[in-house]
Amino acid sequence: MPRGATDDPRTVTTAAPSGHAGRPLNLALLIGVLGVVYGDIGTSPLYAMRASLLHFAADGLERWEILGVLSLIVWSLIIVVTVKYVLIVLRADNRGEGGILALMALAQRAVRTERARGIVALIGIAGACLFFGDGVITPAISVLSAVEGLKLISPTFEGLVVPLSLAVLVGLFLVQSRGTQLVGAVFGPITVVWFAVLGGLGLVEILREPEVLEALSPHHAVRFCITYKLAAFVALGSVVLAITGAEALYADMGHFGARPIRLAWLFFVLPALLLNYLGQGALMLNDPAALENPFYLLAPEWMRLPLVVLATLATIIASQAMLSGAFSIARQCVQMGLLPRLVVRHTSETEEGQIFLPQVNLALLVGVVILVLAFRNSDSLAAAYGIAVTGTFLATSCLAGLVFMRRFNWSLPLVLLVFVPLFLLDLAFFISNVLKIPEGGWVPLVLGAGLFALMVTWRRGRELLFSRFRQDSLPLASFLARLPQSRTIRVPGIAVFMTGQPDYVPNALLHNLKHNKVLHERIIFATVINEDVPLATERRTVEVLAPGIYRVVLRYGFQESPNIPRDLQAMQDVGIGFEPMQASYFLGRETLVAATVPKMFTWQQWVFGLMSRNSVPATEFFRIPSDRVVELGVRVAI
pLDDT in the model for residue 265:
94
- 153 has pLDDT over 90: no
Count of helices and strands (H, E) across the chain: 26, 9
CA gap 201, 264 in Å, rounded: 20
Average pLDDT of span 76-99: 89
- 424 has pLDDT over 60: yes
Q: What is the per-residue pLDDT across 361-372, written as a single tens digit (0 to 9) for each?
A: 999 999 999 999
Confirm or reject CATH 1.20.1740.10 for domain 27-460, answering yes or no.
yes
Worst-scoring range by mean pLDDT, 15-29, 492-506, 545-559, 565-579?
Answer: 15-29
- Taking all residues of the chain, what is their mean pLDDT, rounded to a whole number? 84
Give the residue extent of every domain in the chain: 27-460, 473-637
CA gap 317, 138 in Å, rounded: 11
Q: What is the per-residue pLDDT across 471-490, written as a single tens digit (0 to 9) for each?
A: 777 888 888 888 888 778 88
How much of the chain, in percent, has pLDDT values that exceed 70?
Answer: 92
| Res. 395 pLDDT band, cuts 50 70 90 | very high
Average pLDDT of span 235-243: 89
CA gap 289, 561 in Å, rounded: 54
- 333 has pLDDT over 80: yes
- 596 has pLDDT over 70: no
Q: What is the per-residue pLDDT across 379-391, written as a single tens digit (0 to 9) for each?
A: 778 777 778 888 8
pLDDT in the model for residue 9:
44
pLDDT in the model for residue 198:
96
Worst-scoring range by mean pLDDT, 167-181, 219-233, 524-538?
Answer: 167-181
Q: What is the per-residue pLDDT across 173-228, written as a single tens digit (0 to 9) for each?
A: 887 777 655 455 567 788 899 999 999 999 999 999 999 999 999 999 999 999 88
| Res. 14 pLDDT band, cuts 50 70 90 | low
How much of the chain, in percent, has pLDDT values that exceed 90?
Answer: 27
- 5 has pLDDT over 50: no
Burial classification of residue 72, based on how many CB atoms lie within 10 Å of its CB (0-12 exposed, 13-18 middle, 19 or more buried) = buried
Average pLDDT of span 63-84: 94
Q: Which residue has the higher pLDDT, 573 or 296?
A: 296
Average pLDDT of span 12-31: 64
- 243 has pLDDT over 70: yes
Average pLDDT of span 232-253: 84
CA gap 215, 14 in Å, rounded: 59
CA gap 255, 401 in Å, rounded: 24
- 346 has pLDDT over 80: no
Q: What is the per-residue pLDDT across 461-471, written as a single tens digit (0 to 9) for each?
A: 888 888 887 77
Edge-to-edge order in the sheet of strand 518-530:
11-15, 538-546, 549-556, 518-530, 489-498, 583-593, 629-637
Pairing of strands 549-556, 518-530: parallel
- 6 has pLDDT over 50: no
pLDDT in the model for residue 631:
82
| Res. 4 pLDDT band, cuts 50 70 90 | very low
Average pLDDT of span 562-578: 81
Long-range contacts: 342-345, Cβ < 8 Å, 24+? 342/616, 342/621, 343/616, 343/620, 344/561, 344/621, 345/177
Average pLDDT of span 402-407: 90
Pairing of strands 345-346, 355-356: antiparallel
pLDDT in the model for residue 508:
84
